[in-house]
Structure 1
């Protein structure tokens, strides 16, 4: 077919007559979207993968334990025969406070202050049972103060004579020698005055959380030395851990070489075998009245807990020279309290084996129940409120940190009643597992 033929011309005209297609807005939008998806999809997939990888690589939060009940109240009610005046407190070492009486306000405590004096001396110059310790030389001040007629003192000391630290502590705590207290303070602090030692007494009080206690002298004769019954039991629990202190305050009397007089303890309750009293210290003065901090024992079940009590501000009617009758009053009133507490002290079951006591929280919302691995029993009195805590256990073969995984029945920690009096293992009630992948991918924060 030659150029310019009629057929060729007709074909061209036919093409020109066809309408030109113009894309619609919807088509343009679809094409644009398609191009964007093709362009961004790989980037988004890469970002999602990076985020997911980062989430999975993030360290898991540390699991922690939550106790189901923070306290346990022993069944029954304890009616302590507190006196009509003063203040008092009773506690079981490790289990916590049984009862308090009166307003716990700071009041003079007389020779009860010597408990802290002995505590600080033994902290600075510790003794083992059977040791006599260093030598203490009597100075002229201790001799002169031994002639005072208006305070308790050790008479008959001679300047330059020497006694062991152990014997000086006996003179301090058994007959309550004020001159001995001051001499020990000067010796312990290696100072000509008692001021440095008194500051140590106050530091020790702060360390024991005795917030309402201030010491102004080592003997307690100064009315500025004040405390509360509750504070004194904090000190009593701490100092009764010392073997030497316990052995001294349990003595009803003692003889000292080169000392003509036998030391006689004012705490006559030591002579009552049915009470099992083993200390600690009496106090009496006109500002303080009669005061006593006592310690005793009673076997309940398989345990023999230490019971501690304090009674302050016991005042007999006048005349009461040097608070002698007030001292007799505080001893009599304390005996009633001791008899009552001993009479109702029992071994209380706080939880039974298999009881659910809390759970492990994995930090991402997962919870695994914990059950007691054994019965938890503690010495307690009716109505006593015991604090319950969950924690990690120590010792050979026991867990030292909360695990992320554990089989059913595996030990995870311990449940403690009171302030460390007794603990039992707690075990996983269900399988303890790490958070799932889904949880780890979706966690925030």
Structure 2
């Protein structure tokens, strides 16, 4: 056996390093204490909530510290300061709103000026209303166009009117086919039926004129035949021609439509000649038609003719025997067993500065006491009414030139007076009350103008047919002032 090796001896420990001695540092000189920070005034109010504490050292640079030192602390809030603060905030906004309001008021369109009547709205003639010589039977109505009405007599119930119906036939024909005053109008072909019906004058005692089938008659001659000769066959011919058919019904519908437009509430047409007993009306309704028909110049020309000569050389007398005596200018008689004697009439009379048109109707007259003719009785009663109206008409000056009758209202409180430019006469009769009305121009009342500028007219009487005179500014008319435009509400 091998003997164990002897254990190796541990290596010797290395020598410990020797720490050199630390050099002795001289003590630092004692630093001067930092300057004491300024004490800040503690905040009051909500910012001063909590206990006050010493300010900490402020690390800001000197400039910031300087700014902090020079800032003036906010004053304590008070009710007065709160009010002042609100005024400073809201005043600029209020100024802007005022400027916007002023601009808006200035730029708003001005209201349209208007004429306002300040004179009395009516004028009454002195005296009692006259007693009208009405017929003892039937019904009648009497009026002066543009002045007023004398009223009516009898029960205004629909009754047969016979050939007076032809007035509406002529009226519709002229409405559908207007004519020049110096022209002959359309050419109307004569059909077989019109020629055949000409013979009814002998067989049925109808009023007719001779016409030849295949020929033509002018519209003027057709109107003359209807209104002067009272030709039933021509009345039916023009109805068929206008309808462009063998039926006259479409034309009769137009007659009833025209009656409705004129306010003829108690009128019904069933034929263009009036021969049918169920073509009925009242005296008051026929006066409405008389005024409308006489507005047409061609109609006026024809009904005032005492006679005419047709295209075949035959002369036909007007059945209205009052034409042209005593200022009578039309219009149309009609008689039948059912209707009795009837007449729609028109006459003229000078009054004041113009000519007045008297219109009326007499219906349902019996035989004349002398010659027993129902037509003569209708003519006599109408003549009596015409002469009465002519004798009652008078004129009276109610306003003198320069009289103030109203003002121009600018819509903002400004009023400029207006005066009549000439004497104003009212036409009427004793006891009659007539109205006064200011009429504005078609293009409106001007917003400005010099004194004397015409700004409308004044009418005395019944509507546009009354006495009319211009009115003018009594003084200069200017646009509304700035203050008026500023404070306006409307």
- Larger CA deviation: 385-394 vs 43-52: 385-394
Query: For this pair of structures, how many residues does the alignment match?
Result: 419
1:269 paired residue number: 322
2:393 paired residue number: 345
Q: Classify 1:58/1:187 alpha carbon distance in 2 versus 1 (closer, same or farther; 3 Å).
A: same
Matched position secondary structure for 1:279: strand
1:8 paired residue number: none
Alignment pair present for 1:79 and 2:131: yes
Answer yes or no: is the 8 Å Cα contact 2:407–2:417 preserved in 1.
yes
Q: Distance in 2 between matches of 1:295 and 1:230?
A: 14
Q: Distance in 1 between matches of 2:391 and 2:356?
A: 14
Deviation at 1:337, TM superposition (A): 0.8
Q: Distance in 1 between matches of 2:210 and 2:470?
A: 58
Deviation at 1:153, TM superposition (A): 2.1
2:344 paired residue number: 293
Q: 1:183 aligns with which of 237, 249, 256?
A: 237
The structure with the largest helix share of the pair is: 1
Q: Distance in 2 between matches of 1:44 and 1:378?
A: 60
2:15 paired residue number: none
CA displacement 1:80-105 (0-9 Å, x = unmatched):
21123333322333444343334444
Q: Distance in 2 between matches of 1:97 and 1:28?
A: 84
Deviation at 1:339, TM superposition (A): 0.8
1:6 paired residue number: none
Deviation at 1:145, TM superposition (A): 3.2
1:405 paired residue number: 448
1:167 paired residue number: 221
Answer yes or no: is the 8 Å Cα contact 2:132–2:150 preserved in 1.
no
User: Matches of residues 334-413 of structure 1 in structure 2 within 5 Å?
Assistant: 334-393=382-441, 400-413=443-456
2:254 paired residue number: 200
Q: Distance in 1 between matches of 2:432 and 2:159?
A: 27
Answer yes or no: is the 8 Å Cα contact 1:368–1:430 preserved in 2.
yes
Aligned alpha-carbon RMSD (Å): 3.3
Q: 2:173 aligns with which of 116, 121, 138?
A: 121
Answer yes or no: is the 8 Å Cα contact 1:205–1:211 preserved in 2.
yes
Matched position secondary structure for 2:355: coil
Matched position secondary structure for 1:61: coil
TM-score (norm 2): 0.76
1:4 paired residue number: none
Answer yes or no: is the 8 Å Cα contact 2:368–2:377 preserved in 1.
no
Alignment pair present for 1:443 and 2:485: no
User: Matches of residues 14-53 of structure 1 in structure 2 within 5 Å?
Assistant: 28-53=78-103
Q: Classify 1:227/1:80 alpha carbon distance in 2 versus 1 (closer, same or farther; 3 Å).
A: same
Q: Distance in 2 between matches of 1:365 and 1:203?
A: 46
Answer yes or no: is the 8 Å Cα contact 2:417–2:475 preserved in 1.
yes
Answer yes or no: is the 8 Å Cα contact 2:166–2:274 preserved in 1.
yes
2:376 paired residue number: 328
1:9 paired residue number: none
Q: Classify 1:234/1:211 alpha carbon distance in 2 versus 1 (closer, same or farther; 3 Å).
A: same
Alignment pair present for 1:414 and 2:462: no
TM-score (norm 1): 0.83
Alignment pair present for 1:238 and 2:292: yes
Q: Distance in 2 between matches of 1:36 and 1:127?
A: 81
Answer yes or no: is the 8 Å Cα contact 1:303–1:379 preserved in 2.
no
Deviation at 1:179, TM superposition (A): 1.8
Q: Distance in 1 between matches of 2:405 and 2:103?
A: 37
Deviation at 1:341, TM superposition (A): 0.7
Answer yes or no: is the 8 Å Cα contact 1:96–1:419 preserved in 2.
no
Deviation at 1:169, TM superposition (A): 2.1
Q: Classify 1:436/1:164 alpha carbon distance in 2 versus 1 (closer, same or farther; 3 Å).
A: closer
Q: Distance in 2 between matches of 1:246 and 1:33?
A: 86
Deviation at 1:43, TM superposition (A): 0.8
Deviation at 1:378, TM superposition (A): 4.8
Matched position secondary structure for 1:420: helix
Q: Distance in 2 between matches of 1:160 and 1:217?
A: 24
Matched position secondary structure for 1:45: helix
Matched position secondary structure for 1:79: coil
Matched position secondary structure for 1:298: strand
Alignment pair present for 1:278 and 2:334: no
Q: Classify 1:102/1:74 alpha carbon distance in 2 versus 1 (closer, same or farther; 3 Å).
A: farther
CA displacement 1:414-442 (0-9 Å, x = unmatched):
11223223321212234433333333222
Matched position secondary structure for 2:411: coil
Matched position secondary structure for 2:373: helix
Answer yes or no: is the 8 Å Cα contact 1:276–1:297 preserved in 2.
yes
Q: Distance in 2 between matches of 1:132 and 1:186?
A: 19
Deviation at 1:342, TM superposition (A): 0.8
Answer yes or no: is the 8 Å Cα contact 2:451–2:474 preserved in 1.
yes
Answer yes or no: is the 8 Å Cα contact 1:153–1:180 preserved in 2.
no
Q: Distance in 1 between matches of 2:413 and 2:364?
A: 54
